[in-house]
A and B are shown apart, each in its own frame.
Chain A
């Protein structure tokens, strides 16, 4: 018989976690990924379930002078409807709104979407483009990590055995920022992304690009950024940006594969087209 632990506070959760034998526990919050994996994967003996859904600290959204701090247990339904999120970080409201369907969004949490570490995670590209940082709690206190450094490999994260993702921090964008988000799924709703893209482009008053950052899903083993594209765009005026160069830089930044949902060729081509589109149509 498995044990189900439902701590009421973050400290309690960390304490429990510190005592759990590795490999035999499963952390669960909304359960929208974990429960599906339970049904589909080879049976794994889970001795203990650590349920984070009753921890109030994980449910808070705080707007500060620097930006927003979103508890890891905040649901996607809350995010898609949050007025501050809609106003200052519209890409996050948009990505939350296209993650699964409404019943999924009611249960699924932002932290869960990141910790599940799917390369197709719908909210990951947005957090990469917004240069989010994540707050990780462990036995020795908390640490802040640029989200970009969180995903280490396919379904591998920087989270250590006895650590929990506590919150996500997103800064305000500087004046002159424009953003672009698009999910290309297998259908219009309730789809897993073939390509997901979020872009932040910082324009100078003279319309030159000061900096640009992209987040993509489903085009590599992890959600990823496009360092070569960003470097190429930095300091360029739109008129000096060439489609062929974008294509070349995108190709060097991503590693798409053929899988059950799409082809490597389609993903590469569409990623290139959407980067080009983002540069020209970001709002």
Chain B
């Protein structure tokens, strides 16, 4: 099967695509950010050496902000530039720009910052919850409770009970292209921002608030974006505001603010670290009686997106299981780390890790195979979901687990590994699994509030443009959206184009996050395409079936007779989409994709290094618009998940900033670390997207870590309560276990 070529493929592989740092500019000035050093405190003095000649520099401080000194996000708590009080190391205090990067370097040495540091900065979730000194009252940004049934009562009746404390670390998105923006105040008075981003309208809103300019004087354009993974959801607003403030003072010169890799790693948001206390109870048959989880994520020093990350984490915490009594308390906690933010999975990988590892502990205690325990508890059609809505036809938890067990030869491998481990080999082997579901689109009423809109514009030559604010960032959205439109319009792919994401032209179809682009925006494009055809039929006499030439002829005729060729489609929630944010009840997502991931690992007996021998990722995704892109998405997500499970270890310096800020010491897996990946796509066609498609972007991030940890536990017969499962950790655990066995 030959799938359509990626529309962005050729310019990228030939090097013709221009990433933000490649864009040619005349008279550009380069910008740099002066930052706080301490983990919170007060800036007593910011001095620009009076003996140094500052005239050729553009300098911006908090006093230069024409609008509100706050990054537009859920709450206006994060300053664009620190005025006096700050909460973390690496906060922007002032901006400098000059045409010569070397001069910029020199000038930075002539800026002196005197800070009074915070007496007791906090870097740990539980410390923050118990601390007397607070960053915000109680150090809790958001406190959610998902409560179903009666956990206390169920606990009395449970015959088998486990209690676990599980930890997940931060994780860096590690997009290949570091973040950056270009800003220029044009002669027509429009402030134009171009750069690497996921969400142009977030940037536009942030610019409006910070510069005080009217939206018609602001233009945000997405440049070719080299990966994002959530890392370019909120922070580009910060960089764009900085570049814009400099541009407002730069007399029309373009300002370029590009982060070097180390700066990007130190200051931009990463995955929220989490701490979960999990209690599970079952009867002797292995049927879940209750799920009780205290789930806390480290939000860092400002609220940013933490409440929504938390909400997704809480909703995904009970997994795809039938259980009458569920209590999940979720808290996003304030610490003095730089704020944590969006990263593929968005809270779900954290809580799913906790639950799935706990499920294996429960299985062990019940003396039951982990697959069997899941078989007994997976949701089926007609069950009530953890958030209290009825599970409809679109539920394939059981089918996908069966498929994963079958294609991975789960039980045969288990037997083979038992034999292997009994023999004198250099390694121990194990097989582990995770079953989960991932909700696509914004949580709850999020899509309703977004009120996304797309346009399709046909031209006189029959070419059709998709106008939407969703971004291609390497994931394949451009091709997928073009394919959806071409398919609905019954036109060849070459005739449909995705317009450049430019807020001066495209409507707001929402951010490119939350596995929503193909499903939600794709659906709008499909609807718009049907409207376009209808319009051409009604107003131009297009026949029911037509050739591209006939389509073109109708477009030309309509254009010549002065008729417009523009249609739009806006989001309408499904009728059964009812969600109560306060009680966490109702339908949380339009669609869930269902998955079962199985990891086979071997651990070196001497060095405790873990290698993934085979990995099976099976998922029901409704419909794969472009199976090759879907496969690529899933393979990439699994690899990122393997990194999360085994290698990626964000270390903190004494000021709470990432210490291993180079690619030589922040370790992600290479192809040499990844065994064969078996990707299984099941397509039942019941999702909310085109032809029943569901979102898949985030899903593959959820499963690898628990599956791998469960496999390691099987191999070594030890309990692993945190990731990454580095050799150092496994060595300590296996020595402690050996020690306890000797006693």
Contact = CB atoms under 8 A, between A and B. Distances in A.
B607 A270 contact: yes
Contacts of B727: 184, 194, 266, 270
A274 B606 contact: yes
Interface in A154-203: 184, 186-192, 194
A262 B728 contact: yes
User: Majority SS of interface residues in chain A?
Assistant: loop
A273 B607 contact: yes
Contacts of B651: 260
A225 B732 CA distance: 26
A103 interface: no
A260 B673 contact: no
Nearest to B609: A184
Contacts of A266: 727-728, 731
B611 interface: yes
A40 interface: yes
A112 to B, nearest CB: 17
Interface string A1-40: 0000000000000000000000000000000000000001
Nearest to B105: A43
A189 B609 contact: no
Contact of B670 (A184, A189, A261, A277): A189
B670 A270 contact: no
Contact of B673 (A189, A192, A273): A189
B728 A187 contact: no
Nearest to A276: B606
Contacts of A189: 670, 672-673
Interface residues of B, number: 23
User: Majority SS of interface residues in chain B?
Assistant: loop
Interface string B83-117: 00000000000000000000001000000000000
B665 A260 contact: yes
Given A40-B662, A43-B105, A266-B728, A188 B611 contact: yes
A9 to B, nearest CB: 35
A269 interface: yes
B428 to A, nearest CB: 15
B647 interface: yes
B135 to A, nearest CB: 28
Nearest to A273: B606
B670 A269 contact: no
B105 A187 contact: no
Nearest to B606: A273
Task: Give the interface centre of A194, A260, A263 by most chain B CB atoms within 10 Å.
Answer: A260
Contact of A188 (B105, B665, B670, B732): B670
B660 interface: yes
Interface in A205-238: none
Contacts of B606: 270, 273-274, 277
Contacts of A184: 607, 609, 727
B177 to A, nearest CB: 17
Given A260-B665, A263-B728, A266-B731, A187 B607 contact: no
Interface in B173-218: none
A265 B673 CA distance: 24
B664 interface: yes
B664 A187 contact: no
Interface string B653-679: 000000110101101011011000000
B659 A187 contact: no
Contacts of B662: 40
B589 to A, nearest CB: 35
Contacts of B669: 187
A190 B728 CA distance: 19
A190 B671 CA distance: 11
Interface in B726-743: 727-728, 731-732, 735
A84 B669 CA distance: 33
Contact of B659 (A194, A260, A265, A274): A260
Contacts of A269: 731, 735
A40 B732 CA distance: 33
Interface in B684-702: none
Interface of B: 105, 262, 606-607, 609, 611, 647, 651, 659-660, 662, 664-665, 667, 669-670, 672-673, 727-728, 731-732, 735
Interface of A: 40, 43, 184, 186-192, 194, 260-263, 265-266, 269-270, 273-274, 277
8 contacts: A40-B662, A43-B105, A186-B665, A187-B647, A188-B611, A188-B673, A265-B732, A273-B607
Given A40-B662, A186-B667, A188-B673, 17 more contacts: A40-B262, A184-B609, A186-B665, A187-B647, A187-B670, A188-B672, A191-B667, A194-B727, A260-B651, A260-B659, A262-B728, A265-B728, A266-B728, A270-B606, A273-B607, A274-B606, A274-B607
Give the 5 A-B CB pairs with smallest separation, nearest first. A189-B672, A188-B672, A266-B728, A186-B667, A273-B606
